[in-house]
Amino acid sequence: MLLHHMGFSPQMPAHRPIERDDEAVVTWRREAWRRAKSQRPSVGRWICFEDEAGHTLRPPKARTWAPRGRTPVIPVSGRGSGRISVAGLFCVRPGRRPHLLYRVKVHRARKGGRRSFAETDYAALLDAAHQYLKAEIVVIRDNLNTHISTAMRRLVTGRDWLHVIRLPAYAPDLNPTEDVWSHVKRSLGNLAVTGVDHLAAIVRNRLKRIQYRPGLLAGFLAQTGLTLDPEPP
């Protein structure tokens, strides 16, 4: 009660990696973001934030109602029975509504099988975005191994319409796609699914709903503190 009167409230703390370089984040906002916005705006180039997320058959926990003293129980699979990966592009351009483009990949529970997107998968997503947006693309992505591999560099070099800007390390708050994943994750709280295909269908449904809510997408960009306003000379 005393803490409440002092202006305190119970809150869940956010995690921030100790390896994060706040000075590098400030520099990126000032220089790299400005460069992304200023690269040949007359040709209608889109800025696309890329990111990926994974989902398993064990849903995230969420608060719910239950009789006192009786903790609710959700039946989940105790064995590894597959997962899904989602790669997304959060695309923005001054004067246009934002777009969310994505690909969902199902990984069966097969021993030795790949459980994430490969370089060719990311290239296919970017090719599809280029065809859909009908413009050059500046892709902003993190430093995931697949993003900076030799194979990925070759794929980028072969696409003259594609330009890459890397985010500083440990700075997910600069990527609005992270907020898309958080929104989807909250909607999956306590959800019991029958299998990996059922999970993939639900995730696709959630993402499609977000696609048709440009106001929500604009809010995700606003959360990063990044704006599309032209920089002063």
Complete domains list, the chain, with CATH: 41-58+82-224 (3.30.420.10)
Please provide the distance, in angstroms rounded to a whole number, between the alpha carbons at the two ends of the chain. 52
**201: closest CA among 51, 49, 50, 55?**
55
Segment (H or E) for 133: helix 119-133
Instruction: Inform me whether the pLDDT recorded for 42 exceeds 80.
Output: no
The predicted pLDDT at position 57 comes to 85
Q: What is the pLDDT of residues 98-121, one digit of tens each?
A: 999 999 999 886 666 677 899 999
Q: What is the pLDDT of residues 178-199, one digit of tens each?
A: 999 999 999 998 888 888 899 9
SS3 per-residue string spanning 149-215: CHHHHHHHHCCCCEEEEECCCCCHHHCHHHHHHHHHHHHCCCCCCCCHHHHHHHHHHHHHHHHCCHH
Q: What is the pLDDT of residues 65-110, one digit of tens each?
A: 888 888 888 777 666 678 899 999 999 999 899 999 999 999 886 6
